[in-house]
Amino acid sequence: MSTYHYDLIVIGSGPAGEKGAAQAAYFGKRVALIEREVDLGGAAANTGTLPSKTLRETALYLSGFRQRGLYGVNMSFKESVTTRDFLYREKLVRETEHKRIQGNLDRHKVEIHYGLGSLFDAHTVKVEQSDRTVELLTAEYILLVTGSRPFRPAVFPFGDPRVYDSDTILDLHHIPPNMLVVGGGVIGCEYACMFAALGIHVTLLEGRDHLLGFLDPDVSQLLTRNMVEMGITIRFQETVAAVLVQSKQLEVKLTSGAELRADTILVAAGRSGNTDKLNLTSVNPAANKRGVIEVNEHYQTRGPSVYAAGDMVGFPALAATSMEQARVAMVHAFDLKYKTKVATFLPYDIYTIPECSMAGATEASLREQSIAYVSGIAQYNSNSRGQIIGAKTGFLKLLFETETMKLLGVHVIGEQATELVHIGLMALQSESTAERFIETCFNYPTLGELYKYATYDALGKRAKLEGSSKASS
């Protein structure tokens, strides 16, 4: 008979924490969840995933961005938009998500303890509450899912109310005339697009010579072009050397010697795992200087009774993958004979304007592996639904193995790209070939038809390759 208070203690209530707790509880385990904040949901519900995506939709709505030029309609930006206009919907979505998470945990009979949770030993968690009282809880297993926070380089004066990170930007005081976004990663590009849609002049600094290097180059180039056309000034191979606080504006000195002035600065310099207050040395899981914990394929740390998932285990640090990691961890811990591994193919989504998404191999990765492939592309503006919604740019690119025409990769940029990618994701997961898309009857008019025509394009290219090969022989 176990003498532990619980079978599982989860520290953190973000996507990984909620789903890990629910997974174990679903199979009859006694579960406690520790949350240090007043609101459940972690960064995903409160400062990151849902708030930023809601703000994106709000920016598109307030600016009439989707309607610009459609059927001759010229929507103009609301002249006196306020931060209340901008943040109103985000607050409603956040409140609804809090209720959903609470309801899910209640339904699974997960006990919630509010306070700062840390490891006391391999089976004990110390919970320090706001009134300084301390509670010790024990469990057979512990799941660490404390998420991450924005990394704050010392060069930026975050004490100034005009300097924000990707969490504090939700406390924006007013809509500024211009904004400097530092960092051209996913978060920086997403916020640059949504603020540009609101009519703010945005300057984006990126230390490399291109945006989002993990994307297909054609996708990255089109995104860059669209951002420039939105009015975003992109300065590549630039980093900040110093920021001088002036009464009217912030003076920014770049390492190149150039100087900029900005009303507001948003620093998007990556994130660090929230591991510094967990007392990790008590069970010996390793964390690097950016707070990333080392885990095995089962998301088990060096302490066998302690698991970790989500942002704190590093790439890809997405809400969707974090949920799956926590589920897999709990299946392994309790030997549930259920979901034993995270999916082979993972979707990556970027909520820029336009959206970008991908799954599977890239052309670069196929070349590195010396895999012969053929690509097929279908343009949004040649698709009936694309024409209806006024999509002037955007495309779907499919990568197939040349000999078998097995699907290897899916890359999309355009309206609803983060939804459209799932058709290709399922095809990748089932190891489908080009025949799958040729045989499928897609609704008309839909963006889903892009799959059929991208496949036709790939088949045509393959036929030309075969013809060239025969001619040369």
pLDDT single digits (tens) 338-382: 888 898 999 999 999 999 999 999 999 999 999 999 999 999 999
**Position with higher pLDDT, 79 vs 315:** 315
H helix intervals, 41-175: 42-46, 49-63, 83-107
At the second CATH level, the architecture of 163-269 is 3-Layer(bba) Sandwich (3.50)
pLDDT category at 1 given cuts 50, 70, 90 is very low
- Among the listed residues 290, 329, 337, the one whose alpha carbon sits nearest the alpha carbon of residue 306: 329
pLDDT category at 202 given cuts 50, 70, 90 is very high
User: Domain 354-467 falls in which CATH fold?
Assistant: Enolase-like; domain 1 (3.30.390)
DSSP class per residue in 245-277: E-SSSEEEEETTS-EEEESEEEE---EEES-TT
Locate CATH 3.30.390.30 in the chain.
354-467
| SS3 state at 405 | coil
Given CA atoms 357, 359, 363, 365 in this order, what sign does their dihedral have? Answer: positive
Locate CATH 3.50.50.60 in the chain.
6-149+272-334, 163-269
CA distances from 304 to 84, 274, 291, 337, 368 (A): 48, 21, 19, 19, 36
What pLDDT does 2 receive? Answer: 57
- The whole-number average pLDDT for the span 197-224 is 94
Stretch among 53-62, 200-209, 221-230 having the lowest mean pLDDT = 53-62
Mean pLDDT rounded to a whole number for the chain? 91
Query: Residue with structure tokens 């990663």?
Result: 185
Residue 472 has pLDDT above 60, yes or no: no
What pLDDT does 221 receive? Answer: 96
- The whole-number average pLDDT for the span 104-125 is 96
- The whole-number average pLDDT for the span 430-434 is 97
User: Of 3.50.50.60, 3.40.630.30, 3.40.50.300, 3.40.50.10800, which CATH number belongs to 6-149+272-334?
Assistant: 3.50.50.60
pLDDT one-digit tens code per residue, 156-179: 999 999 999 999 998 888 889 999
Query: Residue with structure tokens 């961890």?
Result: 329
| SS3 state at 35 | strand
Please list, residue by residue across 250-280, b when 16 or more beta carbons sit within 10 angstroms of its beta carbon and e when fewer do. Answer: bebebeeeeebebbbbbbbbbbbbbbeebeb
